[in-house]
Amino acid sequence: MPELPEVTVISEDVRTLAAGRKVVRAEIFRENVSNAGVEGFRERLVGSTLRDVRRRGKIILLDFGDVVGVVHLVISGRVLRLPAWRDPDKIHTAVIEFEDGLVLAFTKLWLGYFDLYEPEHVDEHPLISHLGPDPFTEAFSVQYLAGVFGRKASVKGLLLDQSVVSGLGNIYVDEVLFAASVHPTRKADTLTREEIESIHTATREILSQAIGLRGTTFDSYHDAFGEVGKFQHQLKIFARVGEPCRVCGTKIEKSRVAGRGTHVCPTCQPL
């Protein structure tokens, strides 16, 4: 699933490709891909100009002025640049043609994942209304983390919880906890101030590096130019089960934490 770095890259790509361009055609595969329905989707988008593209958590926001597209790429969704118009289908769930022949397909969206909202109501969207602070905002402070970590839940479970911090998923949480030398099953309320500071620093550093390398590609993720990311070569722990830890040489172990496959170096991340 695209996490914060991948959604950031895709959002910036779409801005580069399409910002300032007028929509000449807009179709969705099925009525329930968008709250606007097939007809509403067409009527509200055709003739409007894409002004900007932003990101909230793992959600892409397409700012068309008086209407905002709220796009969630879910598991393996992509934004594809197509050589020419094609009618939407199961794969190319929503297709938008901009002036000068630019055609973007939003692929494999689930039901309702290309909603259209009035700008003033975007914060009420069910995928957005419960989002915690973005890791790159001031609200995501060490103080804030210390507050939300005052619970008995596992630190991994809390970092995956989009209402605690928005944008992190399984890959980056494993990398962050390894960088901070914290075991994923640690109860958050047992973390020291130093450990919380390490998690805070590692979160921003690792996400920044991943954005710089245009994301992590294991299977489906490609940017809007069709290129794969490069951060998978920098991963220190994720998907390296059985391989030696790059820091200490201990075999990396895998278990299930918070319902997700979790990678740990038992030496660098003692319990």
| Residues near Zn ion, by CB under 5 A | 245, 247-248, 250, 265, 267-268
**Nearer to Zn ion among residue 21 and residue 236 (C-beta):** 236
Q: Give min distance, CB of 247 to Zn ion, in A.
A: 4
Shortest Cβ 268–Zn ion spacing (Å) = 3
Given the residues 2, 5, 88, 135, select the one marked as catalytic.
2
Query: Minimum Å distance from CB 95 to Zn ion?
Result: 47
CA gap 221, 112 in Å, rounded: 21
If we measure between CA atoms, which residue out of 76, 17, 28 comes closest to residue 222?
76
Query: What is the spatial distance between Cα 103 and Cα 235, in angstroms, rounded to a whole number?
Result: 34
Q: Which residue is nearest to Zn ion (CB)?
A: 245
Report the residue number, 142 or 239, with the smaller CB distance to Zn ion: 239
Maximum Cα–Cα distance for the chain, whole Å?
59
Task: Between 176 and 245, name the residue whose CB sits nearer to Zn ion.
Answer: 245
Cα–Cα–Cα angle for 262, 134, 109, nearest 5°?
Answer: 70
Give the distance from CA 117 to its chain's centroid.
Answer: 20
Mark whether 2 is an active-site residue.
yes
Q: Please report which helix (H) or strand (E) contains residue 204, including its range.
A: helix 193-212
CB of 257 to Zn ion, least distance (A): 17
The reply to whether 260 belongs to the active site is yes
Active-site residue flag, 58 = yes
258: left (phi over 0), alpha (psi -120 to 50) or beta: left
> Measured from the CB atom, is 128 or 265 closer to Zn ion?
265
- Which residues sit opposite 244 in a β-bridge? 251
Options 15, 55, 56, 58, the catalytic residue: 58
244 is catalytic: no
Provide the annotated active-site residues: 2-3, 58, 260
